[in-house]
Amino acid sequence: MLKKILVVGMLLISILFGMEKGYDYFLKRNMDLKPAYITRHRIDADVLFLGPCEPLWMMNPVVFQSGTGLKAYNLATVHANFAENEAMLHLYLDHNKAPGYIFLYVTTESVDGAFNVFNTYAFAPYMDHEWMTAQIEEQDTSYYKFRHFPFMKYAYYGDYVHFNCFQGIKHALSGRETPYFPDGYVPPHDMVWDGRLERFAKQFPKGRVFKWNPEEIKHLQSIVNQAALSGSQLVLYESPMLNEIKPYILNREEIREKISTFAVTNKIPYWVFDTMKISNSRDYFFSVLNTNQAGSAIFNKTFAAYFIQQQTEPLIKTPSDH
């Protein structure tokens, strides 16, 4: 009886380890996952857009390329903190030529630490990289403790990975090598006003003081160092926000001044598109920090034009009104 239990136990463990290897393989074949695409294909863009949701839904490489002649790729990911931005850039640079420019989105939310996260499950297939394992250990200690148990590498965040794995199987069987969004940009086609302003005002009727989180700044500095080592020009930028939210960010100018000082200390540009006329109207936004298609069309053209302007003028300055 004991022997049968041991045999069944060993068989079960073997199956779970086999499933883990299968997930490793097929998640790397899901071309709609940016880590899979950028490590399987050479993109070799001249310009990268990096950050969380805001650049993901706002920065259109096609518009930038048409205005500048430079090939661009949107490397941003949903709700990503600086540690995730750093991980994405690390994976990209391991498999692609370093870009000439990296545009990193930075705002009061970015440096606070309470709004963006490290999406561990997105990087689970890449834990054969020593650097990535260390990053995951720091960002998600609970997950890290269970990683050696059979299949816990994926069972831990199962709801976030099962569909992606099945999609990877589909892509592998069909031979698909192109993502649904080839340049990484996810256009906000169906985005409608999300009510975030109203929820924020209800939660913080007198406004909120944002923090200068040392952990976020540590990883921001790591991105600066990474860009410098690769020979890329890093540019910090803040896209337009809806003016209605500004009274609720009680120390916005203080945080912006700290970001500016950080940029000057590291000798990198910091562009703030703070005076664009679209910031006055909800007609151009689906959230306080995200422009809709109409707003994004205006901002992308403005951004590309400003970039061209900076080729003959100092990079470290604030964009003028548009």
Beta strands in 37-160 (DSSP E): 47-50, 72-74, 101-105
Q: What's the CA gap between 236 and 284, in Å, rounded?
A: 23
Residue 208's SS3 state is strand
Rg (CA), the chain: 21
- For the chain, residues with pLDDT lower than 50 are 316-318, 320-322
Q: Which among 287, 206, 289 is positioned nearest to 249, based on CA atoms?
A: 206
Which tens digit of pLDDT belongs to each residue from 92-133?
Answer: 999 999 999 999 999 999 999 999 999 999 999 999 889 999
* pLDDT value, residue 73: 98
Q: How far apart are the first and last CA of the chain?
A: 78
* pLDDT value, residue 322: 46
* pLDDT value, residue 314: 52
- Domain chopping of the chain, boundaries: 2-310
Vertex 89, ends 189 and 305: CA angle to 5°? 55
Q: Which among 303, 67, 108 is positioned nearest to 209, based on CA atoms?
A: 108
* pLDDT value, residue 53: 95
Residue 59 DSSP class: -
Overall pTM surpassing 0.75 (yes/no):
yes
Q: What's the CA gap between 129 and 137, in Å, rounded?
A: 12
* pLDDT value, residue 15: 84
Which listed CATH number (3.30.160.20, 1.10.287.130, 3.40.50.1110, 3.40.50.20) goes with 2-310? 3.40.50.1110
Q: What's the CA gap between 223 and 234, in Å, rounded?
A: 9
Q: How far is CA 93 from the centre of its chain?
A: 15
* pLDDT value, residue 311: 81
Q: Are 118 and 83 in contact (CB under 8 A)?
A: yes
Q: Which among 312, 303, 260 is positioned nearest to 70, based on CA atoms?
A: 303
Q: What's the CA gap between 70 and 72, in Å, rounded?
A: 6
* pLDDT value, residue 4: 74
Q: Which among 242, 227, 221 is positioned nearest to 111, based on CA atoms?
A: 221
Residue 2's SS3 state is helix
